[in-house]
Amino acid sequence: MEILLVVIIGFLHAGGLYMLLRRSMFKMIIGLILLGNGANLLIFLLGRLVKGNPPVIEDGLKVFTDIYADPVPQALVLTAIVIGFGLQSFAIILIKRVYNVLNTDDLDELNSTDEEI
């Protein structure tokens, strides 16, 4: 299963990069989100895969008695997801705003607009 996840991580990165290189801002954001997902999955995978044993101490016990999933990557990814949301929403609003002002979705047309705004 790990191998399959590795393949998916590769796919997510490749797809994200490809979309990032497009001229349309919309596609760029899609790329950004794909890359984010890939990175999250990558970090998560580094904590190894453990089935059915979340890092939650059972009631009545004070320490883990069974194996448990690594909590550190989970905490990292959780933070990354939320921050990623902030970034994505900002990017989404940005393209909308740019479109409102300049009436274009094409990144290359943004090169010489300093004086227009």
* Residue 16 exposed, middle or buried by CB count within 10 Å (0-12, 13-18, 19+): buried
CA distance 114 to 8: 40
The least CB distance from residue 32 to another protein, in Å, is: 11
Q: Using CB under 8 A, pick the residue from 59, 66, 114, 115 that binds another protein.
A: 59
CA distance 4 to 86: 30
| Sign for the pseudo-dihedral over CA of 74, 78, 80, 84 | positive
The least CB distance from residue 37 to another protein, in Å, is: 6
Binding mask 88-107 for another protein (x = CB under 8 A): xxx-xxxxxx-xxx---xxx
Binding mask 62-91 for another protein (x = CB under 8 A): xxx---xxxxx-xx-xxx-xxxxxxxxxx-
Q: What are phi and psi of 47, to 5 degrees?
A: -80, 5
Q: Is residue 115 near another protein by the rule CB under 8 A?
A: no
- Say if residues 62 and 78 touch (Cβ distance below 8 Å): no
Residues 24-53 contacting another protein, CB under 8 A = 24, 26-27, 30, 33-34, 37-38, 40-42, 44-53
